[in-house]
Amino acid sequence: MILTVTLNTALDLTYRVPALTPHASHRITEVTERPGGKGVNVARVLAALGHEVTVTGFTGGATGRTVQDLLTATPGLVDALVPVAGPTRRTIALVDDRTGDTTQLNEPGPTITPAEWSAFQEAYEDLLAPASAVALCGSLPPGVPVGAYAGLIRLAKAAGVPVLLDTSGEPLRRGVAARPDLVKPNTEELAELTGSHDPLRGAQDARRRGARSVVASLGTNGLLAVTPEGRWHATPPARLHGNPTGAGDSAAAGLLSGLTEQLPWPQRLARAVALSAATVLAPVAGEFDRGAYEELLGRVAVTGEVSAA
């Protein structure tokens, strides 16, 4: 079982409009809702790849109940969300059909009390026992300590469970110091962490700060991996046009599935890039086009070198 942690779960709403115009009224042509938050997105892709996945984090209010109903209806996912008093947030993606661009509106999430945070940590420790890997993803809701991910990483390492961390800002800085097995920042997050705007130097610095392996998302230029085994750059076969919402989460799912399957790094990266690209091409934000994924997988270019023994 793979465990994904989404402390700031959400109900994702996607609205499509013919054209998005500021200060104007819009007629929505299509509405899609699904359980969201980065770790939930990762879990959905992992389940679609055939993995057993347990989803944990917080849930509250009517929105939280909707999220849980949608999770229960998703094959391969087990709901282990921890109830809280505050309502689960909503995120709204406004898709402009004319340009394909997406405007994102994200609520902050419920305020978590100290008692609720303690209850979550107890549940998390219990869930680690059967886990083969854990993904810690996304922002922290109000009330959760900024060092939360660092503490969760230490608990996972004590249980012998490998950890992927995908967050930003101070939670990323503190989390990296706790020595996760893999971090997956984008170029902006990596620059904020290390002060370097060169992805290779930034990834090397992030490893010196504690991360065992670093996979930097380069947007349309693919992924850069710096690991103890070597360094590689994986790129999609062509520049793709579509909705990038959730593409980074699909990449994280590809990396985590490759880790649990013990694939060589070039295969992990090819899977991650193909999943990310197939998510951009999918008609619904955050899903991936399976046909596109299977077609792209063999066309991802991976270059690099193995470290000397």
Asked whether the predicted pLDDT for residue 291 surpasses 90, the reply is: no
pLDDT grade, residue 288 (50/70/90)?
Answer: confident
> Residues 6 or more apart from 35 whose CB is under 8 A from it?
9, 10, 11, 12, 44, 67, 68, 70, 71, 74
Torsion of CA 23, 27, 30, 32, to 10 degrees: 50
Instruction: Count Cα atoms within 13 angstroms, Cβ side, for 243.
Output: 23
Higher pLDDT, 206 or 103: 206
- Kindly list the distances between the CA atom of residue 193 and the CA atoms of 162, 170, 171, 188, 197, in Å, as whole numbers in the listed order: 22, 8, 10, 9, 10
| % of the chain surpassing 90 pLDDT | 75
Contact, 97 vs 19, CB < 8 A? yes
Pick from 286, 304, 216, 240: nearest CA to 39: 286
Give the C-alpha separation, 283 to 189, whole Å.
Answer: 28
pLDDT reported for residue 246: 82
Secondary structure of the chain as H, E, C letters: CEEEEECCCEEEEEEEECCCCCCCCCCCCEEEEEEECHHHHHHHHHHHCCCCEEEEEEECHHHHHHHHHHHHCCCCEEECCEECCCCCEEEEEEEECCCCCEEEEECCCCCCCHHHHHHHHHHHHHHHCCCCEEEEECCCCCCCCCCHHHHHHHHHHHCCCCEEEECCHHHHHHHHHCCCCEECCEHHHHHHHHCCCCHHHHHHHHHHHCCCEEEEECHHHCEEEEECCEEEEEECCCCCCCCCCCHHHHHHHHHHHHHHCCCCHHHHHHHHHHHHHHHHHCCCCCCCCHHHHHHHHCCCEEEEEECCC
Q: Average the pLDDT over 207-232 and give the result.
A: 95
The one-letter code for the residue type at 214 is V
pLDDT reported for residue 192: 96
pLDDT reported for residue 284: 65
pLDDT reported for residue 287: 77
Give the C-alpha separation, 45 to 48, whole Å.
Answer: 5
Give the C-alpha separation, 304 to 19, whole Å.
Answer: 43
pLDDT reported for residue 84: 97
pLDDT reported for residue 309: 46
Mean pLDDT (the chain) is 92
Asked whether the predicted pLDDT for residue 285 surpasses 70, the reply is: no
pLDDT grade, residue 296 (50/70/90)?
Answer: confident
pLDDT reported for residue 186: 95
Q: Average the pLDDT over 81-95 and give the result.
A: 93
Q: Average the pLDDT over 229-251 and give the result.
A: 85
Higher pLDDT, 101 or 273: 273
pLDDT grade, residue 286 (50/70/90)?
Answer: low
Asked whether the predicted pLDDT for residue 239 surpasses 80, the reply is: no
pLDDT reported for residue 89: 95
Tokens 């962490």 label which residue? 193
pLDDT reported for residue 308: 54
Give the C-alpha separation, 281 to 264, whole Å.
Answer: 26
**Tens of pLDDT along 90-142?**
999 888 888 878 888 988 899 999 999 999 999 999 999 999 999 999 999 99
**Tens of pLDDT along 132-182?**
999 999 999 999 999 999 999 999 999 999 999 999 999 999 999 999 999
Contact, 274 vs 66, CB < 8 A? no
pLDDT grade, residue 305 (50/70/90)?
Answer: confident
Give the C-alpha separation, 285 to 82, whole Å.
Answer: 26
Least confident of 53-57, 127-131, 233-237: 233-237
Residues involved in catalysis: 249
Q: For the whole model, what pTM was predicted?
A: 0.91
